[in-house]
Structure 1
Amino acid sequence: MTYHFTKVLDCPFDDAVARATKALADQGFGVLTTIDVAATMKAKLGAEMKPYVILGACNPQFAYRALQAENKIGTMLPCNVVVQDIGGGKSEVSAVNPLESMSAIKNAALEPIAGEVTSRLQTMISSL
């Protein structure tokens, strides 16, 4: 397995962000944070890069269950979804694979939760 699920979209960056946000909502996720990586790199380093944002997505039901099973799991929340402009009028959306990222945590109670979240994020990516 890989640490992310990715799909290339034949649409501009802003449309891809909107589509990803809606697809997340359709799977029960809200976007808690939006980190504009390109703007941050420009402000802090003077570096130019194509539009790139990290959406911090959270499904409250799964987050609550995970926190009940492992109180330090918050170090791995929310689930990151990256939207980036890859040029040529195309964008790429990538979501973290929770089964992979949480495999380092030796807590059997987290596995079914991570599996459910993984399934929803895969569905979200596929629906784009």
Structure 2
Amino acid sequence: MSNATTYALSTTVAGSVENTATKTRAALAEQGFGILTGIDLAATLREKIGADIPPHLILGACRPPLAHAAVTAEPSIGLLLPCNVVIRAEGDHTVVEAMDPATMVTLTGNPALAPVADDARTRLLAALTALGGTPLS
């Protein structure tokens, strides 16, 4: 996996957003993440403002032990937790992205978050790799 941006871990896969979402949920579960929320951004924008965008889902993923350790080290970290996993259509493929947990350490300057970020990053990379896609550059 490589960073499409300086703050994202991402991969691109063949297949629909729906099929990729199913595989992504399973890959995240294998790494101990549960899915707390799911937002169909394309449907929401179409309903609320009549905008038409390609399929775009946002999954709210959480690994409670990591979230607890992060909140213990930095009480306001909920603002930066790498909880969202985005699954979106881009041309004839699907992109899966997650925030790079190292961003939490960089933005807060709190070294106590480094072990949490390292664990979360390892798990997110494993989930993305399990999807069998190719990294975005």
TM-score (norm 2): 0.86
| Range with greater deviation from structure 2 (73-82 or 115-124) | 73-82
Query: 2:108 is aligned with what amino acid?
Result: I
Unaligned runs of 5+ in 1: none
- Match status 1:65 vs 2:77: no
Residue 91 of structure 1 aligns to a residue whose secondary structure is strand
Per the alignment, do residues 79 and 102 of structure 1 end up closer, same or farther by CA in structure 2, a change over 3 Å counting? farther
Q: Is the 8 A contact 2:12 2:96 kept in 1?
A: yes
- Match status 1:17 vs 2:17: no
Q: Counterpart in 1 of 2:94?
A: 91
Q: Is the 8 A contact 1:3 1:101 kept in 2?
A: no
How big is the shift at 1:102?
3.6
Q: Counterpart in 2 of 1:46?
A: 50
Q: How many angstroms apart in 2 are the aligned matches of 1:110 and 1:66?
A: 6
Q: How many angstroms apart in 1 are the aligned matches of 2:107 and 2:43?
A: 32
Q: Counterpart in 1 of 2:111?
A: 108
Q: List 4+ stretches of structure 1 deviating above 3 A.
A: none
- Match status 1:26 vs 2:5: no
Percentage of pairs with the same residue: 39
| Range with greater deviation from structure 2 (7-16 or 22-31) | 7-16
Q: Pairwise CA RMSD of aligned residues?
A: 1.4
Q: Is the 8 A contact 2:57 2:87 kept in 1?
A: yes
Query: 2:91 is aligned with what amino acid?
Result: G
How big is the shift at 1:57?
0.7
Residue 108 of structure 2 aligns to a residue whose secondary structure is coil
Q: Tell me the matched-pair count.
A: 127
Residue 28 of structure 1 aligns to a residue whose secondary structure is coil
Query: 2:17 is aligned with what amino acid?
Result: F
Residue 15 of structure 2 aligns to a residue whose secondary structure is coil
Unaligned runs of 5+ in 2: 132-137
Q: How many angstroms apart in 2 are the aligned matches of 1:68 and 1:109?
A: 10
TM-score (norm 1): 0.92
Query: 1:17 is aligned with what amino acid?
Result: A
| Range with greater deviation from structure 2 (34-43 or 79-88) | 79-88
Query: 2:56 is aligned with what amino acid?
Result: Y
Query: 1:31 is aligned with what amino acid?
Result: I
